[in-house]
């Protein structure tokens, strides 16, 4: 995931994933202070990533997972979504998140 920060800075990045990924993601990014996973009222998983320093211009984050391949040999994903970011300074942040709907094995 890549966020572009157009004004000010941000030190908190929030995104949600489908509920079946609960406990199965390992977020990786520069200067992560803490990564907190919680369940939303509608069963999705919300991640709050807090960085040690205020990020300026852009922030890039990966989330790794090792999953067993389902019998149909495909993982189906709902679109991942990013929530508005909180910042210690005022700023506008645009999430340029692009997600794959399906990943197939070869």
Pairing of strands 74-76, 81-82: unpaired
**Contact residues for 15 (Cβ-Cβ < 8 A; gap 6+):** 1, 46, 47, 49, 80, 81, 82, 83, 95, 97
Q: Residue 1, Cα to own-chain centre: how many angstroms?
A: 6
Structure tokens that stand for 47 in this block: 């991640």
Query: What proportion of the chain, given as a percentage, has pLDDT over 70?
Result: 64
Average pLDDT, stretch 41-47? Answer: 94
In this prediction the pTM is: 0.68
pLDDT 10s digits, 2-28: 988 988 899 999 999 989 889 999 999
Which of 21-30, 53-62, 83-92 shows the lowest mean pLDDT across its residues? 83-92
Q: How crowded is residue 3: how many other Cβ atoms within 10 Å of its Cβ? A: 20
Cα–Cα nearest to 80, from 56, 59, 100, 53: 100
């Amino acid at each position: 995931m890549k966020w572009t920060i157009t004004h000010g800075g941000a030190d908190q990045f929030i995104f949600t994933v489908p509920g079946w990924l609960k406990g199965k993601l390992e977020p990786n990014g520069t200067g992560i202070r803490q990564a907190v996973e919680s369940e939303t009222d509608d069963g999705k998983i919300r991640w709050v990533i807090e960085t040690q320093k205020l990020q300026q211009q852009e922030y890039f984050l990966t989330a790794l997972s090792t999953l067993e391949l389902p019998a149909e040999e495909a993982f189906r994903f709902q679109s991942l979504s990013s929530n508005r970011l909180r910042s210690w300074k005022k700023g506008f942040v645009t999430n340029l998140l692009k997600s794959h709907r399906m990943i197939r094995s070869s």
